[in-house]
């Protein structure tokens, strides 16, 4: 396994739309393992392949405290949304920035597992938020794009200033 570099907002590569995975093979399993290691190292709960400059539809998520409940979603698609909820989100590609985003409260999603089998999940709460957030990455969207233009500009300015000081 290897640690991967996480792209930082406003890197334009974060806006590339990921292409579907054609075959779940050893290359995809290795990518998922590397993404999981990267996510754990960065103390995140989710990571999309787009964030590590791989533009294929792969997501890793682990909401457990023990870091032992890894979910890998290949070609995830939300097939049903219901309700609305507001949740304060953060992102490994936008470190140190948190803000409220409105998303569906409950979702149904379909995806392939690491054996290439089709799976369906009905969920709500943090897992539903996380799946929506990560699929947004695959579609080239970062959570700050849900915020007002003023907030987006402030975030860009803050990140540029932080990068200059680093």
Per the annotation, does 137 bind a ligand? yes
Catalytic residues: 134
Stated pTM of the model: 0.96
- Quote the mean pLDDT of the chain: 96
Contact present, 18 and 56 (Cβ < 8 Å): yes
pLDDT at residue number 33: 98
**Element spanning 127, H or E:** helix 125-138
pLDDT at residue number 163: 82
Q: What is the share, in percent, of the chain residues with pLDDT greater than 70?
A: 100
Per the annotation, does 15 bind a ligand? no
- Give the model confidence (pLDDT) of 99-129 as tens digits: 999 999 999 999 999 999 999 999 999 999 9
What average pLDDT does range 54-69 have in this prediction?
97
pLDDT at residue number 160: 84
What average pLDDT does range 136-164 have in this prediction?
93
Task: Give the separation between CA 108 and CA 11, rounded to whole angstroms.
Answer: 30
pLDDT at residue number 159: 87
Contact present, 131 and 123 (Cβ < 8 Å): yes
The two tokens of residue 86 are: 């507001």
**Element spanning 91, H or E:** strand 85-91
- Give the model confidence (pLDDT) of 1-31 as tens digits: 799 999 999 899 999 999 999 999 999 999 9
């Amino acid at each position: 396994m290897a640690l991967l570099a996480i792209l930082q907002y406003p890197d334009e590569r974060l806006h590339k739309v990921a292409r579907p995975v054609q075959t779940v093979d050893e290359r995809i399993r290795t990518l998922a393992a590397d993404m999981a290691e990267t996510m754990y190292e960065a103390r995140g709960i989710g990571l999309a392949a787009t964030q590590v400059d791989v533009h294929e539809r792969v997501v890793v998520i682990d909401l457990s405290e023990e870091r032992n409940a890894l979910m890998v979603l290949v070609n995830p698609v939300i097939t049903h949304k219901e309700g609305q909820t507001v949740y304060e989100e953060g992102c490994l590609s936008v470190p140190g920035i948190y803000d409220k985003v409105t998303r569906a409260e409950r979702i149904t999603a379909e995806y392939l597992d690491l054996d290439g089998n089709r799976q369906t999940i009905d969920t709500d709460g943090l897992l539903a938020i996380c799946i929506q957030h990560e699929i947004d990455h695959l579609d080239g969207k970062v959570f700050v794009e849900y915020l007002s233009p003023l907030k987006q500009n402030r975030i860009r300015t803050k990140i540029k200033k932080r990068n200059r000081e680093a």
